[in-house]
Structure 1
Amino acid sequence: MRRRLRTAGVLAALTLFFAASVPAVAEEEQRAPVAPVTVPALTDWTPASGSYTYADSARLVADSASERRVADTLSDDLRDAGHGTPAVVRDGARPGDIVIDLQPARTSLGAEGYELRAGKRLSVTAATETGAFYGTRTLLQLLAQSDRVPAGRTVDVPRYKERGVGVCACYIHVSMPWLENLVREMAYHKLNQLLLELKVKSDAHPEANTWGYYTKDEIRGLVALGKRYHVEIIPEINSPGHMDPWIENRPDLQLTDSDGNKQPSRLDITRPEAFAYYTSLIDEYAQVFTATSWHMGADEYMLGSDFAKYPQILKYAQDRFGPDATPQDAFIDFVNRVHAYADAKGKKLRIWNDGLTGANTVPVAVGTTVEHWLNVAVKPSQLIARGYPLMNAAYALYLVRGGFHSDTEGLYDQSWDPRSFEGEKLAALDGITGAKISLWPDNGRGETENEVAVGLWPALRHLAQATWGDPHPDATYGEFTARGTAVGHAPGRRDLTRVPVADGAYTFRSGARSFAAEVARTADGYVTVRTPDGCLEVRGGKLTLNVPLQPGIEATEQTCDPENTLQRWQLEPAAGGYRLVNAITRMTVSVADDGRLVQYPPDQRTPAVWHLSR
């Protein structure tokens, strides 16, 4: 029996939306047809009489291997959404069925567009597997509201080819379940690029394996999920700046200033060993990432300093490019060498725009995609005129952990779209690949992952709308957010705010170590662990972005503070008990030989499994 997913809140949102969406017209004029509610909104809807009704007898009709892949994914998602598990068949369609139909000759639908027809049966037609997949996302959104889909037809094609979310899972670890939820939500809203700045645990450079990394198996699993849901996962290792996660233990690769000080965040671009090191990381990432792009960042190389402190860079540039060369030429040369290396591996290079100050005489290699986030001397229109693919990654779209959050309502009211860059608005779409929102951990303890999610979903839906179709489909932001309420979240999304135990007093026991504590759920879905001496907190060691990220740091009782996110914990079910995972550091508590509670990455030291009794 299928679960009924509709709620009074959703019905109220739909009522508000439909009431507000039908424009007032003169009596002699016919009212415009109202499209079913989706995010992104359908801009082309031709109604017909009757409806399609989804029932337990529905089958998914798919013939070719590509059609069956789409149908198999849809069947699983229908199950996860509480609609049963329809069979995937090759038989001729009958009333009530859903037909997946790939027609490569329908070139007008492009690489991602589709046609959806609803009547006695429902069909999704596309020229490509990706287009058919997006048609099934629309179907899932419609069924999230009702088993009855109004009869009609839509042709739905995106305006921009790149519709993304960028996540800096750098320095501050982001849990894999959170990233998996993000992939599902992105696909549900027809976003197609997840750009991840992160560290993969390195076999070639074990000295770099300080915490914050992901294992190769974890990344393989995430990439496989992305492939199934048509989200390309593009990796980034920021370089030549922000390299400290990789070279903090490699002083031989660090840039040295004129006072003899090593700079662990700056790679010495004048040294061939530095280039070899960086490209070896590209090779290692290729073992787990299948994306056809490589993001090297290339932002903020001289953040907090300037090239004058590093005369060796000017000498390198002049030796290579002549007496009129600038230090910036050495920087661009490094970018171009990475471009050539990535290109030879079948990968297109992406960089941020702020390093393109105009002080260089050497041009950036043709074909490099520039992600524009900051208003600098070289404007978006100039980059497009020079032939660079340009993505809008505006600062206005940022969500900074514990800091700046995108004003989604303000952007919607302004009818923001990807032509609106920082410092310049362009008249045409030509040359603009799309846009992305970006999540940064500047104050890593400022918000938990679950708190970040609350601010992310409205921004994600707005970005999906602005990059796929009409950036302002509804008269008010409230009406637009009602769409999100109506379609809900993606099937298969895990509720990461669920706490597996009730509030109360427990004895925690792992082996010979035990302690008594009060467990209380926090508003964002974690728990506090309060002993007679205070609340358990990770504290000590070197702070990175305001977070104690060193393995081996002790978890001790501190004065309880409901605002202190380092006192929030996740009880992760394991082997009949629970692992204790810090909400911010994402490390698990282990028991040291002397009985102290210490945090470690779970692959470095076996986490303690805590058995709770009352």
Structure 2
Amino acid sequence: MKRVLLISLLIGVCNTAMSQGIKAAAKAALIPLPVTAVYNTDSFFITPHTRLVADPGNEGALALLRNYISEATSGALAQTEAGAAQTTPAIVLHTDTLLVQQPEEYLLHITGKQVLITAYDAAGIVHGIESLRQLWHLKGAAQLALPGAVIRDYPRFGYRGMHLDVSRHFFPVSFIKAFIDQLALYKINNFHWHLTDDQGWRIEIKKYPALQSVAAWRDQTMIGHKKELPHRFDGKKYGGYYTREEIKAVVAYATERHINVIPEIEMPGHALAALTAYPSLGCTKGPYKTAQFWGIFDDVFCAGNDSTFIFLQDVLEEVMELFPSAYIHIGGDECPKVRWAHCPACQQRMRQEHLADEHELQSYFIRRISNYVQSKGRKIIGWDEILEGGLAPGATVMSWRGVEGAVTAAKQQHHVIMTPEDELYFDHYQSLYAEEQTAAGGYTPLEEVYNYDPLRAAGDTALLPYIAGMQGQVWSEYLNTIPKAQYMIFPRMMAMAERAWSPQTVKDFNDFSRRLKAQYPLLQQLHIAAADNFEEINFTADSLAPGQLYISLHTTDPAAVIRYTTDGSTPGQRSKLYRQPIQLTKSSTVKAMLYQQGQPTHRLFHQSFGINKATGAGITLKQPPNTKFSGDASLLVNGISGSDRYNDAQWLGFSGRDLEAVIDLGTEQTIREVGANCLNYHWQRMWAPVSLEFEGSADGIHYAPLAATTSFPVNGINKIRLPLKPVKARFVKVLARNKGVIPPGEYGAGGNSQLLVGEVVIIAVSH
């Protein structure tokens, strides 16, 4: 009945607007997109005489609105009237649980005389205010204009989160507050604050002062990417931490905007900074050193000594004093078991608790911490590794390694927050252009973020009630400045926010792109250094016949045209206009530029394509790739060499198995050279093959050796090219033998190495 009443009221408001002769207007550029919105040509103006009115209990929201108005007008509207005559135009904040029916829902009605925000609760009032922030624009020195509108809005998911890692790089309180304000602007209601890790401890704990004096600092920081050798360092002591008073101020700031702050205290792994301050908490008792580079480290909290749990309980007690969040994040991810396997205390604990292995020891660790947190009236959240050995009762899982963890947890009736690495890690590259700033790896363009749907990913509809929401992650290893961080966060965070808030039925990337472009002036006003590369040229390559490639160029900008060259020269206004796929029959470099109204825009696109006898040939694999570097076998013969960032879907990856491929050239050829590209990045667990071998055959049955090598000297891409005495063959077999288990003393020792192979090259004798 209430729903019928609400809909009737909305229809009545819209009909009234039309009957008064108010014409419909273009859609506004709100992000996230509201559930329903009708705009008209009416306008409301916020002036020094505008009244601000709020129900009792909404005084905080009123103060927030007044502050936003002041900021938007650079202080020109620092004061608005509270007690003016009733006939004065007003902004009214009203709570009504009969008219508005669900948490966080709001109705926004803007006419020429009044702005009325009616909401279910105080959070809904703030969401309505945040929509006003996106709708208004400065008109004159001391006036804000709002379009006439009737908006009804509520969230798709109750949990909408953003994570920020401050352990690898420390961000000041001023940035944290600005970030929280940006979350509020896009209706994100949870801030996941990653406060401790191997590279630094960032929260003041009174009982353990060495966490401030020792664990909060590292001697120096790596320069460049950790895959690069030799590793380089800046030689500068680095660190910092948030005092208790600073944390209280941040929490209060977030609370005013109805954002919950979830602290993360990493355990049992990612503990090197804490162990440096208190070495008795580790299995070997040290000495330890706060990490200076990025990765996973074998030294973790000892699970066999009660002193470890006493320490962590003391820490969590102080954490819970500072953070009112119902959830406390305890990490639980990427915990090596190497030290536990050789620690007498840990092995004794396993015997006492009848634990089968170290995975069950991790479960014991998490359960013990969870029981303590629950005794304080709170619950834990952990990354999906907390599933290992059994899930603690009441725990919520953040599923970051894909869907499997989410499905497993949901089947056990635990709530899940979808945080998948491939789609929602904003430390990944968002463009494949070589000019992009250094990032952790991966490739997550804006459209991939926008198209992610956590409910579809979950699969089984019976599990959907346990999908609490979704969250974007910002790991800061390579984000050592605020502009770098903002560049990676925006606009991908905005895409995530829309997918978490707006109904699935309104999903439209082209419309989102239109609204996003309209938002850039607001981002500039807020001093956000957002990326603007989402409309740049991208490409696909197809081979319709051996020795030929067809290159398709793409942009999502409907107002731009593409001009290109294939001879390596930079395109200009007179270069060829792209109208259809570009046919290549020889190795070429395609360069292209977007033009709007005759002027170049965005960065220059350039991509090399190599054509040889293998290009476009038939290829079969004995075993498919079994890592995240998966794909069709044709990637090895598509004329595109994978980059040293290995994020361009041009590499095939194998773990615990060899690559064996057979290439069919179609007819017998006289071959004079063979080769392939192999990656060698030990600090990424990527190892070149033990050997790379080529064999030839006329019939595909009987093979003879052609060439082989065991030398892969380059840290990076090894472009192996092996000359032959000319030999005839139709079929060429490529065998790259996997390194297997990573040897002792190397990064990731004891785990499987990854074999990554890229483009195969076969050169024939010219006739």
TM-score (norm 1): 0.67
- Compared with structure 1, are the counterparts of its residues 81 and 295 closer, same or farther at alpha carbon in structure 2 (3 Å cutoff)? same
Partner of 2:514: 479
Partner of 2:444: 407
Task: After superposing the two structures, state which structure 1 stretch, 150-159 or 282-291, moved more.
Answer: 282-291
**1:67-146 correspondence to structure 2 within 5 Å:** 67-82=58-73, 84-87=77-80, 89=82, 94=87, 96-106=89-99, 108=101, 110-119=102-111, 120-144=113-137
SS at match of 1:430: helix
Partner of 1:432: 467
Deviations 1:110-161 (A, max 9, x none): 2211111111311000111111011011011111377443333211000111
Deviations 1:482-522 (A, max 9, x none): 143254368xx56799xxxxxxxxxxxxxxxxxxxxxxxxx
- Compared with structure 1, are the counterparts of its residues 107 and 45 closer, same or farther at alpha carbon in structure 2 (3 Å cutoff)? closer
Partner of 1:170: 167
Instruction: State whether structure 2 residue 385 is matched by structure 1 residue 385.
Output: no
Instruction: State whether structure 2 residue 55 is matched by structure 1 residue 63.
Output: yes
Q: CA deviation at 1:449?
A: 2.3
Partner of 1:155: 152
**1:579-594 correspondence to structure 2 within 5 Å:** none
Partner of 1:457: 490
In 2, Cα distance between equivalents of 1:33 and 1:270: 67
Instruction: Choose the corresponding residue for 1:266, options 281, 284, 300.
Output: 300
In 1, Cα distance between equivalents of 2:116 and 2:24: 24
Residue 103 of structure 2 aligns with an amino acid whose one-letter code is A
Task: After superposing the two structures, state which structure 1 stretch, 309-318 or 165-174, moved more.
Answer: 309-318
- Compared with structure 1, are the counterparts of its residues 101 and 260 closer, same or farther at alpha carbon in structure 2 (3 Å cutoff)? closer
Instruction: State whether structure 2 residue 499 is matched by structure 1 residue 466.
Output: yes
In 2, Cα distance between equivalents of 1:314 and 1:183: 44
SS at match of 1:328: helix
Instruction: State whether structure 2 residue 310 is matched by structure 1 residue 293.
Output: no
Residue 446 of structure 2 aligns with an amino acid whose one-letter code is E
Check whether the contact 1:473–1:480 (CA below 8 A) recurs between aligned residues: no
Residue 179 of structure 1 aligns with an amino acid whose one-letter code is I
- Compared with structure 1, are the counterparts of its residues 390 and 93 closer, same or farther at alpha carbon in structure 2 (3 Å cutoff)? farther
Partner of 1:522: none
Q: CA deviation at 1:318?
A: 3.7
Q: CA deviation at 1:409?
A: 2.2
Residue 194 of structure 2 aligns with an amino acid whose one-letter code is E
In 1, Cα distance between equivalents of 2:529 and 2:517: 23
Residue 467 of structure 1 aligns with an amino acid whose one-letter code is A
Instruction: Choose the corresponding residue for 1:395, options 406, 411, 421.
Output: 421
Q: CA deviation at 1:85?
A: 3.2
In 1, Cα distance between equivalents of 2:287 and 2:250: 42
Instruction: Choose the corresponding residue for 1:356, options 387, 391, 402.
Output: 387
In 2, Cα distance between equivalents of 1:274 and 1:343: 18
SS at match of 2:58: helix
In 2, Cα distance between equivalents of 1:256 and 1:122: 65
Q: CA deviation at 1:67?
A: 1.8
Instruction: State whether structure 2 residue 392 is matched by structure 1 residue 365.
Output: yes
Q: CA deviation at 1:267?
A: 0.5
Instruction: State whether structure 2 residue 276 is matched by structure 1 residue 248.
Output: yes
- Compared with structure 1, are the counterparts of its residues 420 and 484 closer, same or farther at alpha carbon in structure 2 (3 Å cutoff)? farther
Identity over aligned pairs, percent: 20
Partner of 2:36: 44
In 1, Cα distance between equivalents of 2:331 and 2:421: 15
SS at match of 1:453: helix
Instruction: State whether structure 2 residue 209 is matched by structure 1 residue 206.
Output: yes
Deviations 1:563-582 (A, max 9, x none): xxxxxxxxxxxxxxxxxxxx
- Compared with structure 1, are the counterparts of its residues 86 and 121 closer, same or farther at alpha carbon in structure 2 (3 Å cutoff)? farther
In 1, Cα distance between equivalents of 2:42 and 2:287: 78
SS at match of 2:192: strand
- Compared with structure 1, are the counterparts of its residues 459 and 406 closer, same or farther at alpha carbon in structure 2 (3 Å cutoff)? farther
SS at match of 1:200: coil
In 1, Cα distance between equivalents of 2:35 and 2:24: 12
Q: How many residue pairs are counted as aligned between the two chains?
A: 450
SS at match of 1:321: coil
Q: CA deviation at 1:311?
A: 6.5
Check whether the contact 1:208–1:246 (CA below 8 A) recurs between aligned residues: yes
Q: CA deviation at 1:186?
A: 0.6
Check whether the contact 1:145–1:487 (CA below 8 A) recurs between aligned residues: no
SS at match of 1:266: coil
SS at match of 1:278: helix
In 1, Cα distance between equivalents of 2:148 and 2:121: 24
In 1, Cα distance between equivalents of 2:83 and 2:366: 51
Partner of 1:586: none
Partner of 1:278: 312
SS at match of 1:213: coil
Which of structures 1 and 2 has the bigger CA Rg?
2
Unaligned runs of 5+ in 1: 1-30, 498-544, 546-614
Residue 274 of structure 1 aligns with an amino acid whose one-letter code is T
Check whether the contact 1:38–1:487 (CA below 8 A) recurs between aligned residues: no
Check whether the contact 1:62–1:89 (CA below 8 A) recurs between aligned residues: no
Check whether the contact 2:300–2:339 (CA below 8 A) recurs between aligned residues: no
- Compared with structure 1, are the counterparts of its residues 81 and 426 closer, same or farther at alpha carbon in structure 2 (3 Å cutoff)? farther
Q: CA deviation at 1:392?
A: 0.9
Q: CA deviation at 1:178?
A: 1.5
SS at match of 1:255: coil
Deviations 1:261-312 (A, max 9, x none): 9988400112111001001001122332222221100111117x48644575
Instruction: State whether structure 2 residue 361 is matched by structure 1 residue 330.
Output: yes
Partner of 1:549: none
Check whether the contact 1:33–1:45 (CA below 8 A) recurs between aligned residues: no
In 1, Cα distance between equivalents of 2:481 and 2:39: 45
SS at match of 1:290: coil
Partner of 1:583: none
Q: CA deviation at 1:49?
A: 6.8
In 2, Cα distance between equivalents of 1:93 and 1:454: 46
- Compared with structure 1, are the counterparts of its residues 93 and 153 closer, same or farther at alpha carbon in structure 2 (3 Å cutoff)? farther
Check whether the contact 2:30–2:515 (CA below 8 A) recurs between aligned residues: no
In 1, Cα distance between equivalents of 2:448 and 2:475: 19
Check whether the contact 2:95–2:119 (CA below 8 A) recurs between aligned residues: yes
Using CA pairs under 8 Å that are at least 6 residues apart, name the structure with larger relative contact order, 1 or 2: 1
Partner of 2:376: 345
Q: CA deviation at 1:314?
A: 4.8
- Compared with structure 1, are the counterparts of its residues 477 and 44 closer, same or farther at alpha carbon in structure 2 (3 Å cutoff)? closer
Check whether the contact 1:408–1:462 (CA below 8 A) recurs between aligned residues: no
Unaligned runs of 5+ in 2: 1-22, 196-201, 218-239, 290-296, 428-437, 531-682, 684-767
In 1, Cα distance between equivalents of 2:24 and 2:357: 60
SS at match of 1:335: helix
